[in-house]
Amino acid sequence: MLQYSVTCTLIIMGSYSIGEALKLLLEKSHWAPKVTELRMRDEWEQIVGKTISKYTRNINLYNKVLTIYTDVAPLKQELLLGKEQLVIRINEYFEERVIEEIQIK
């Protein structure tokens, strides 16, 4: 019986590429949002540009809501006005809908 279970598992696992298997693991384990947040922090400068990256002190992603922290009032105003475009840019960067709303603090 154990041999059948192992064989069945190997057949099922063999039908996925490594990328697909990792994506499935992330989805099933609910780690995907945290991995996305970590990736967003690492690639923040590439996503928003050098200036915005330099003057934002932290970002958090929770339940598809991105919270951006900055102490620079003009940047805060600019981000508030451009929230919709930033949502689009981030989702295009990740090639999926990773955020739905942005909060600026």
Residue 13 and residue 42 in one domain: no
Residues 85 and 57 in one domain: yes
pLDDT for 14: 61
pLDDT at 9 over 80: no
**CB distance 66 to 102 below 8 Å:** yes
Which stretch of 14-18, 68-72, 79-83, 90-94 has the lowest confidence by average pLDDT? 14-18
Indicate whether 56 and 98 sit together in one domain: yes
- Let me know whether 87 and 61 are in one domain: yes
What confidence tens digit (pLDDT) does each residue in 29-81 have? 777 788 889 899 999 999 999 999 999 999 999 999 999 999 999 999 999 99
Angle of CA points 21, 26, 30, to nearest 5°: 150
Are 8 and 54 part of one and the same domain?
no
Q: What domain range includes position 92?
A: 31-104
Task: Indicate the DSSP class of residue 47.
Answer: H
Same structural domain, 40 and 88: yes
Same domain, 43 and 63: yes
Whether 11 has a pLDDT exceeding 70, the answer reads no
The residue to which tokens 């970590």 are assigned = 38
Task: State the pLDDT at residue 12.
Answer: 54
Q: Which residue has the higher pLDDT, 41 or 14?
A: 41
Look up residue 96 and give its amino acid.
E
Q: What is the mean pLDDT of residues 17-26?
A: 77
What single letter denotes the amino acid at residue 78? E
Same domain, 18 and 46: no
User: How many separate domains does the chain show?
Assistant: 2
Q: Rounded mean pLDDT of 15-42? A: 80
